[in-house]
Chain A
């Protein structure tokens, strides 16, 4: 129901209410009326309704209560005046209410009526109620009558909706009918009566009867004649349409392009023309040819939209759809758009039909000529087909005609100016065309001549050698020509040319003449001026004689122009004739048509000379085959076919290449086999990859030429290749030919079973991570891929009879012309977005110059320098140029080795190399990093199963024990939302053992006997070597030591309170803030944090500085000094990966600690601390963690490609799965990733490798010492965790030689190298994977001595007995030997509690067993390690430089104090350091002390040597800083610093730094 309808309904209802009581009689009437109408109703068409309307119009009260849908609405407007509402039936609900009302009315009606009134009503056809009688009302009615059918239509529509009510109504009517049939009749007569009853009765007084107006036909025609003009249908004579005395001009005849006119019937045209002539006498509607101006017919002769029905045959390639089965989504595949297509199998068909050699080493001279002849003939045929000369001649003719036409003044109504211009253009074109034609003709002629010449040569050669090798035969067919006609044409042509040339010359002459005249005039004027000047000068000279000298020449003198010579006709004629004779066929000369055939016979072998026979035999021995290379991989090859005598090879093989990716290259390699000897690669032929529209069956055979540059000299008649030879007997006129030929082939896409071409989608053309959409073929997407084939285009153009003059086709014709002639420049690009250039805001350069954009892009590309750059300025001017400096420098210096930071060149190279390896690895894993698993994105709580639920329930019932603390898991934080200050490092320092104690300075020195220890002693933890003889030295009253701990991390320093005694207990928690580099808290960034946590133990020493003893009573004046005792260094990465570090660590104490000793008052403590008494060093118990806990990043789960056997890999997976099932916490390693990212079986890394000979020579008779030395050597190689260098990627294992080259590596590299050395020393050694403190999962080396096992820490060089409680290795996961892997399946994993006997299968599960025997895997390690001796001089130099730098640094760290250097002490220390190196930092303390005492007796000395492997400068500086030696601010302090570098082979450097502070004792 539309709103309009609604409104009407409301209105009608109103009426019902009003009228109900108002006029009862009227209602009655209307009811009767309705009855009447009802009879007509069923065919209530629009016409009827209109007619009915007038009838209904009588009624005063139209059917607002009339439920009859069809008729009532029409009456409504009459009553209500002009309303635009559509006539609408009333709703059904009124029907019943009205019905009962009508019953009452009927009774009333019966009471009052008269017959006369009714008669009157029937008589008058349009009786109107008084109200309606006004003329306006009448008009209104007619208006309504003419209302468009739309209204009626709406009525009808609504009809339907109302039909229900109507039916109901009819029923009720029927009821009434059955009741009172008579009454109906009665009412009929009386409805007028009651009509008038309701109104007044004086109608007849106002109404008058008039006849209808009528105009006779004649009069009407008369009038029409006056008004109308009917144009005649007769043809209009042309003169009427054109201006006076103008001949019609037909542009088409003049060669101008006029499109086809639209077909219009002749009569229509005539009518139009007549009308136009009458209407607008101006004739502007008519063209020059007297026809109505018309545009070309816009209707294309064929529909450009083919019927859709034909969809099956030619859907465009890019709109093709392919039915794809619903596919299981592969998660691992790229998630990018466009690559949803699964890699299907696509097929490329390569049809290799044959091979023709255009030159081959075995060609005889005759063959060479034959090849040449064939080539020329081909050329000839091609030229003849194109027949350019003819075309140009025709064109010339046409142009000449045009000029003739336009020269005729009668025919050119256009202005003279345009005509002249046109003629000039024509002429210049004629000139050009003529030139071109002459060239073409000459070419044709010379070609013909060459053919004949070659043929002659060949013939003479055949005669000379008296045999024939080739069946080639040239026949020259002469075509007779009509001499006379020919001559005439020739002459006419010559004449035309001459006349044109003459004209040209004349024009030129005239032009020159003009020039001459003007020049002449100028010259004259100049001359005149000169003369007058001279005259003046003459006068002037008399006055100023020196004026002449100053007279400047105004330029050079104009030369007197020479009049041009008029042209000489005879000369021109001569020229033309000469040229014609040269380039054209002489008149009457027969046309020569060469025909090449293979009809000749080849001389049989027995009639040939020996050399020729040899040649033929050689040819027979040769065979050729082709290899098909797809993406540089050989995919198949043809059969080997013998070379025919005609040097053609027929293959006729089709290769179907099943491919997955878009091909990158397609190559054929031509191989030749001679006899049974090897094959040689003749040449490579690169085949174009076919267009996507080229499918099998449609692809034509194409010939691809190839040539080779090999040099072949043969000892027979064959001319060889790349060798000069000659046809002449005297060897002159040499010729060098290379082997060349043509392969005829066709490459096309195969068609699948269902007719779909098996072409990889274009999106696959790109490999890698780039957008699939970016590189879609732009040209093929607009459907014009065919454009690349010009020949086809030209063919099509010729077939479709394109009008070459049609401006629409001009670019196309131009393109074809250019492409087919092949002489002009063909642009080899296609410009997309041609208008781009014009509409650009800025140029590309400017866009690239924008610093802001550059910065944004670099940041988004995650270039290291900009990876975490925040807040890029909005304006370019705010970005400093220096932001890019580092980056640009890095780009520039990629290959330049920077020695500034590294001092030592070798390390610089290594650092560079490491950087490169790192970059390449990072790039490789970039893709892998973007793969997410569901678990990476969604943390899903496990749905509790019944057992857990049960436990929970059980717990509810448990007793509450508030005093029993329960461990709560800390919440882990992912790194995204962190910022500076959120993360803290918590270091809990609990206690320390065995801190060195002070020695009174005055104590006498005693040399303890140096014990020569053995391993057994050591591993059994021999009791302290120093007997407690000195206990007496210590005054019991004095504090032994007052240690405190200082933790420094990222230059933040915290320290504990000071405790007393050598075994202090602090139990303090220190909180250090953590800042990630660049504020980037992403996992990768955190992993690459290289900072270390330094835990330094100091002794706080109080010195009484009170000068005056008398003041002692009143005040204390002491100075606090701190003496460094040792440190523990824990890399942050360890903390990050371990989440917490808890344990007792050995303090790294300097080998010499002046003023301190490990001697202790055994008296007091020894008894009840058995653990400590076993140890040698000092120990500290620590607990370190981070708050909040960070989630360490996981390594990449990428499967790496491997060269291992598939079976082996499966076995490793199985083995690992089994192990993980039993002991999930134990480390089990079977395969590792090598530095190139390949999976390698781990045992391949173990192989005996020779340690440096130098080390072996050191202790030739002491294997233990040698072993220790080797371990020390290994430990001197700097440690660099993989997680730092390959942040967030994975653990890479490098082989030992790579490790030694890099001079940096992880635990496993150290362990592997050490293990290999031990193996080569003849020890039984294994790689031991396990957990240690503080490293976490790590690799140690286990060796078996005679009766016991030793555990070696490869990074520190220390070794421990199996039962050493202080061994940092806490658990053992597996052992790896050179030929097997053993997994620990014992109950315990602590080295103290396990049995290392790997032969017991109950304790150790071995990888290779009887079921899977060891296959004998080759090692990835080199055969032998080669050690270069390190350059001693370089080491010394480095030593000096380090010393200098460190001294500068110390001075820098003491900005407020003067730093004095004690040279004497420094030199003493320098002498001492080599001693330390020799003794590996053991047992020298006392010698040293004695010496120092001797030399620096009056100084209070505190200092110590530091020992480190050398990697770069920064750690050294850091270590010196951490000792805090520079912190002493006693005014008269002096410093000493000595550096010693001991070079080991292969550039392994051991660095000793001795720092000391001296205070002079007063």
Chain B
């Protein structure tokens, strides 16, 4: 019966080699969690930074969960996409981070990665765009054997999340 409010925003991203970026995000929780209000997933606008490296999205996140257990604490998974000059979109990075478990405001930096693919695919990516993507998006946050995956580092997504916890102390969880 504990409640968790996740209120914050996806500030933006830095360090991507591509310029026009947008981000698809989603929150994944365990079975014990119930979404009371808010949307679990969404997509930001495309930001093309005019000055500097950082793409700002300032995309609001406002979720209210009720939970009956700690398992499956909410985790945030992100997909950063870039849009090229032809308006085509391609993947720039997958990222994943846990929603912090202590109340208060948290600045999160979520590094991202993307599958590298074979040299052919890399070559194609460099010239005609596109790129390898995960067939199953849940590999972003599931602990499957990822060592087989060859990845390249993407940039970092910056998040600012505020956590409000309620009634956790009632069940012996100190926070």
Which A residues lie at the B interface, using CB under 8 A?
305, 308, 311, 315-329, 335-338, 340-341, 761-763, 771-773, 776, 781-783, 832-833, 835-836, 839-844, 846-847, 850, 853, 856-857, 859-860
Contacts and interface: CB of A to CB of B under 8 A. Distances in A.
Given A321-B115, A860-B37, A763 B137 contact: yes
B89 A329 contact: yes
A836 B71 CA distance: 7
Contacts of B171: 841-842
26 contacts: A311-B148, A317-B136, A318-B136, A319-B149, A320-B134, A320-B135, A321-B117, A321-B132, A321-B149, A325-B129, A326-B128, A328-B89, A329-B87, A336-B42, A337-B79, A340-B24, A762-B136, A771-B26, A782-B144, A833-B30, A836-B31, A841-B69, A846-B68, A853-B66, A857-B37, A860-B36
Contacts of B24: 336-337, 340
Nearest to A860: B37
Contacts of A839: 69-71
Nearest to A934: B45
A757 to B, nearest CB: 9
Interface in B65-116: 66-72, 77, 79, 81, 83-84, 86-91, 115
A335 B134 contact: no
A781 B148 contact: no
Contact of B144 (A321, A341, A781): A781
A776 B77 CA distance: 15
* Best-buried of A321, A335, A771 by chain B (most CB within 10 Å): A321
Given A320-B134, A321-B149, 7 more contacts: A324-B90, A336-B24, A337-B24, A776-B137, A841-B68, A847-B68, A860-B35
A842 B68 contact: yes
A840 B71 CA distance: 9
Contact of A337 (B41, B64, B148): B41
B137 A833 contact: no
A932 to B, nearest CB: 11
A325 B70 CA distance: 40
A853 B128 contact: no
B136 A320 contact: yes
A1129 to B, nearest CB: 40
Nearest to B172: A841
Given A318-B144, A853-B66, A336 B1 contact: no
Given A316-B145, A842-B68, A843-B68, A326 B129 contact: yes
B121 A323 contact: yes
A1140 to B, nearest CB: 36
A884 B49 CA distance: 49
B89 A326 contact: yes
Given A832-B31, A833-B71, A318 B66 contact: no
A308 B151 CA distance: 13
B137 A327 contact: no
Interface in B28-54: 28, 30-32, 34-38, 40-43
A358 B162 CA distance: 67
Contact of B42 (A323, A325, A335, A846): A335
Contacts of A321: 115, 117, 132-135, 149
A328 B88 contact: yes
Given A317-B136, A322-B133, A840-B68, A308 B147 contact: yes
* Best-buried of B79, B117, B139 by chain A (most CB within 10 Å): B139
Shortest 7 CB-CB contacts between residues of A and residues of B: A326-B129, A860-B37, A326-B88, A321-B132, A325-B130, A841-B171, A856-B36
A771 B77 CA distance: 13
Contacts of A328: 86-89
A319 B31 contact: no
Nearest to B134: A321
B109 to A, nearest CB: 20
B164 to A, nearest CB: 12
Contacts of A772: 26, 41, 137
Nearest to B43: A335
B2 interface: yes
A1070 B36 CA distance: 45
Contacts of B38: 860
A1009 B1 CA distance: 83
B31 A833 contact: yes
B136 A773 contact: no
Nearest to B139: A318
B88 A318 contact: no
Contacts of A320: 134-136
Interface string B1-41: 11000000000000000000000111010111011111011
A249 B129 CA distance: 70
Contacts of A329: 83, 87-89
B139 A319 contact: yes
A781 B87 CA distance: 33
A337 B117 contact: no
A315 B150 CA distance: 11
A483 to B, nearest CB: 59
B4 to A, nearest CB: 12
Contact of A841 (B1, B35, B115, B135): B1
A337 B144 contact: no
A783 B115 CA distance: 19
A336 B81 CA distance: 13
A750 B83 CA distance: 32
B79 A781 contact: no
Contacts of A841: 1-2, 67-69, 170-171
Given A308-B147, A771-B40, A840-B32, A835 B71 contact: yes
